[in-house]
Amino acid sequence: MAGQSEGCCRCCFSFIFSLGLTALFMWLSLRTTNPKCTIRSFYLPALNRTLNDTKNNTLFVTLRLKNTNNDKGVFYDAVNLTFRLQPNATAKPVATSAVPRFYQGHQKTATKNVVVGPQEGLNWTAVSSGVQPNGSVNFRVDLATAVRFKIMFWKTKRHRLNVGADVQVNDSGGKVNKKDIKLSAAPDHHLIGFFSGQVGILSNFLVLILLNFL
């Protein structure tokens, strides 16, 4: 009897262990990571004092979007960009632009060049008013879009992506930070609580199964 009991416990343990690995594998397979968004370049020729050309009132921005998922593609809706002057980041935008929707493969990086001039709605009067005595200007750049993830042969529902960053421009018309500027968002406490709850439910479920077999 003792041998049968020990064999039963081993079978139960193997079953629970396999169940746990299966649940972990499914969670890892379905888990998605939002694209990483950065500003590679940010340039306004009219603010470059060395050029002495105030007529080129155009904003040139290079945006990079990276899909870090190993086995999931990303469908982007239109990527909307909003440019405001700091420190009043809630004020009326001085410019807006949009990148058309597109698809991105596994672990791919997309580079999107954005050009916004007065004809596209750039409010150069407002930009000029934000120039400080040293020739610098502080911008707030916000990005808003929605993405769907392609997992094998099906697509997930749309996930909203809202990120932003502050960009300081010097008297050469370019961003002060030479490195790519990461666009980020504040932590979503609702999502953190949701995933914590899911992990807790899975753990309790496995514990109950173990207790029933012991």
pLDDT in tens, 174-205: 999 999 999 998 654 444 444 444 445 455 54
Which single residue is written with the structure tokens 């529902």?
Answer: 157
Q: How far is CA 120 from the centre of its chain?
A: 25
81 - beta bridge partners? 97, 143
* Helices vs strands, H then E, count in the chain: 3, 12
**What distance, in Å, lies between the first and last C-alpha atoms of the chain?**
15
Q: Residue 190's pLDDT is what?
A: 42
Q: pTM, whole model, 2 decimals?
A: 0.74
Q: Which domains does the chain have, with CATH numbers?
A: 1-31+190-214 (no CATH), 34-183 (2.60.40.10)
Q: What is the mean pLDDT of residues 50-76?
A: 92
CA dihedral 87, 92, 97, 102 (to 10 degrees): 80
Pairing of strands 36-48, 95-99: unpaired
Worst-scoring range by mean pLDDT, 26-35, 65-74, 89-98, 104-113?
Answer: 26-35
